[in-house]
Chain A
């Protein structure tokens, strides 16, 4: 074991920056602990307790920045330093870079790029609306990533956009794919002839990834933001998005993804399908009644995966019957794995713990599980009576959405920072009643870049912990993403499988498998 350190003078950073930098360094291979702190006497004493105090630190003052790393080898320690230096530099240069080379305003940007056609806006909500309006007035389409844009502003923007033939995706639109380009938190998908309109970002990611992984492709994927299909906005962009896809010669099939829209909006969608849309439409309204979708003239899907599979089957010239056969086969396969996994459990192991980073995926998993094992607990459950008293403490069958505010205040989203979920994985493994731990892994731009490297050690540790007690826990995961994503789905899949995880082709399949195992073991309500 080596301990190495550096002192930096006169550099000040916010506390969370320092903590996260240290944490990123600790996550590297062979690094046991790292600290980046001001050189106060008191911090030195903690460095000492942690075995990180070096002689060189003894004369450092309160205003010096101390960086200490404990690692298995000299090489690992040096790597950690490189990482820390790089992260601190990035923090600095991001602030600096802003000053010199960039235009200061939208107008300035248009001088450099007069033929721009899309503006992505992610500044604070109170300014974002005005910036978006300015963009529309210049005839530019808008993707509004920011949330907290006032409702009346959203309506104003969307009405203006509708009247002027422009797109407003968002506010609170996390993902879109336009002309093959992944915008914000999107996956790198194949191009093809399936167009998507979605009022749910993660839903869009799951459907577009399934389509790509089935060998079909996406023409356009338009996000609208969740509020678009509520009563007040009245589905303005959902409708305009559908019309645009109908007009687009490269789009042959249309998929609609949303939570159940307001009835008024649903009626507009149905009228549009009946009167203007000639292309086949597949609809998934999570938690809604498939009959309603059918009534609206669309092909209903029960899950995000199904929506993707139906669209992909159509695109590949297969009939719906063939698709149904495929689905039945998959269902059989799931049941077979469930039977196998139910056999190696110890007496008392009977519950599932879903640890989710994607809210829509968590919702979908709970909807499916409820049909198989009855009501499940959670921090954002379907049935309010099953809300956990303490979101940190699971009970019976529990699905936790770690992306909820209570877990994310002051820290990066769990799709980016895995440390909290890793900790929960270990905790759940200590519970003798747990049979299955269910995970979602969301790839693409904006997400964690090394999900396999970061998840595998926690899963390994959890498995070993259980094994000491004679227990075997089944890990089930789905990976939302494609092989073209910067993380590479196949690589992540292999890493997880090597760690003993059963990787299912979709979130729906993963949730069903987990639920069937629980049902076999008598953990259903």
Chain B
């Protein structure tokens, strides 16, 4: 099975698979760190130089090194269906985990906005769809956009919960 290139597509497709087989579908997230380049080949000086170039990181990971990757798989063992998504962006972790939380609840995630398809939250959905229009390039760049999407997702979450019989309206999220 190929990887999806877009997180929303992955989440959407996964939600459909989970809807079809809610009991047996599982999601595996793999965080994988590549083996570090051995410093025996005289790369230690190079490493120092690169880390000096980028003094912003607490981790002394030079930029040239392959970064860690995060691989998501939604797998249904009986049919063998496996949906995959792979990313190396730290900025996507938050959105991803929000998505996984919603998948765990069995929500259907809409393709365009990543919301539940309910239009109860006008403003939130607008922000979300605007961001979707801009495309992935701007998504990784625009911090405001990502935050907007998150709030949109949260708002929809609230709406979803209410409609599903208010299964514990826990909205005490530590706002930052």
Task: Tell me whether A and B are bound partners.
Answer: no
Q: Which residues in B have some Cβ–Cβ distance to A below 8 Å?
A: none
Q: Which residues in A have some Cβ–Cβ distance to B below 8 Å?
A: none
